[in-house]
Amino acid sequence: MPITIKKALSDSKIFLKQELPHSIPQNNLDAEYCLMEVLKKSRVFLHLSSETEISDLEFNQYNEMLKQRSLGRPLAQILGFQSFFKNKFLVDKNVLVPRPETETLVPEIIKKGDEIYKRNGTVTIIDAGAGTGCIGISLAIERKNWNIFLIENSLKALNILTLNCKSFGLKNCKIIYSDWLSSIRNDTADILVSNPPYIDKLDNNIDENVRRFEPGSSLFANDNGLSEIKKIIIESRRVIKKTGLLFLENGYNQSENITLMLKKNYYKDIKTILDYNGIDRFTMSQNS
Could you report how far apart the first and last alpha carbons of the chain are, in Å?
Answer: 71
pLDDT at 26 over 80: yes
* Dist CA 221 CA 38 (whole Å): 37
pLDDT the model gives residue 212: 93
pLDDT band at 257 (very low <50, low <70, confident <90, very high): very high
Name the 3-class secondary structure at 150: strand
pLDDT the model gives residue 276: 86
* Dist CA 95 CA 283 (whole Å): 23
Q: Please provide the average confidence, as pLDDT, over all residues in the chain.
A: 95
pLDDT at 1 over 80: no
Nearest CA to 92 out of 156, 170, 38 is that of 156
CA 248 from chain centre, in angstroms, equals: 13
β-pairing, 3-4 vs 53-54, is antiparallel
pLDDT band at 24 (very low <50, low <70, confident <90, very high): confident
pTM: 0.94
Per-residue pLDDT reduced to its tens digit, 133-159: 999 999 999 999 999 999 999 999 999
pLDDT the model gives residue 202: 85
pLDDT the model gives residue 113: 98
Find residue 47's DSSP bridge partners. Answer: none
* Dist CA 13 CA 68 (whole Å): 14
Nearest CA to 181 out of 137, 215, 229, 225 is that of 229
Residues 6 or more apart whose CB falls under 8 angstroms from that of 259 comprise 270, 272, 283
* Dist CA 25 CA 97 (whole Å): 20
The DSSP secondary-structure symbol of 278 reads S
SS (H, E, C) 77-146: HHHCEEEECCEEEECCCCCCCCCHHHHHHHHHHHHHHHHHHHHHCCCEEEEECCCCCHHHHHHHHHCCCC
Per-residue pLDDT reduced to its tens digit, 214-249: 999 999 999 999 999 999 999 999 999 999 999 999
The DSSP secondary-structure symbol of 209 reads H
Which uninterrupted H or E stretch holds 54?
strand 53-54
CB of 264 closer than 8 Å to CB of 226: no
* Dist CA 216 CA 202 (whole Å): 12
